[in-house]
Amino acid sequence: MNKRCLIIVDMQIGFINKYTVSLPEKIAQFIKNHPSIDSVIATRYCNTTETACYKLGNWKECMKGTSDADLPPQIIPYVQRVFDKSTFSGFTTELKEFLNQNAFDKIYFCGVNTDCCVLATIFSCYDSVQDCTVIGDLCASTLGDQKHYNALELMRDNITSKRVINSWEIVD
């Protein structure tokens, strides 16, 4: 039997807007309906005065220690571990070590922003030769649907279309 991990990328209160508002509940429902997922973890973007987003992009949201950086209540009961990060990619040394220690056969990704942190994280995971897949209907972009769909298309082009799926394609 394959050992599977779901990584929820940056599904944080500060990233909830009209394009992402339904995502926390959709992710929670997916987890409830897929008890064979062995581990559910999350990445959390923690902005500081030292990040590129702050220094170069003048973006001052999701600051470390604020409620904007917190996970929404719908997914908190399911998340076994949170990996904080200060870069677009959540595929940090700490996360890689966790995945290797647990010897997962399959890694699924969902969350926000499809066109930024999800994209960067799955590209890094794919580059490390991990069997990874993004669940497209469990991702969204705070910048709108077009950015989300463009990012999914980039992933299909670069990590293969079989690695970009929808939640109903995953069977227990």
pLDDT tens sequence across 110-153: 999 999 999 999 999 999 999 999 999 999 999 999 999 999 99
Cα 166 to chain center, whole Å?
A: 14
Mean pLDDT, range 77-85, rounded to an integer: 97
* pLDDT at position 81 over 70: yes
Whole-model pTM above 0.85? yes
Percent of the chain scoring above 90 in pLDDT: 86
**pLDDT for the residue 77:** 97
**pLDDT for the residue 65:** 87
Q: What's the CA gap between 145 and 142, in Å, rounded?
A: 8
Q: What is the largest CA-CA distance in the chain?
A: 47
The domains located in the chain, with CATH, are 4-169 (3.40.50.850)
Can you tell me whether residue 1 is helix, strand or coil? coil
**pLDDT for the residue 1:** 63
Total number of residues shown for the chain: 172
Confidence of residue 72 (pLDDT cuts 50, 70, 90): very high
* pLDDT at position 31 over 70: yes
* Cα 40 to Cα 60, 99, 133, 161, distances in angstroms: 28, 11, 14, 24
Residue ranges of E strands in the chain: 4-9, 39-45, 81-85, 106-112, 132-140, 164-165
Contact 85, 46 (CB under 8 A): yes
Q: What's the CA gap between 90 and 121, in Å, rounded?
A: 5
* pLDDT at position 170 over 70: yes
Instruction: Annotate 83-125 with DSSP letters as a single string.
Output: EEESSS----HHHHHHHHHHT-SEEEEEEE-IIIIIHHHHHHH
Contact 152, 114 (CB under 8 A): yes
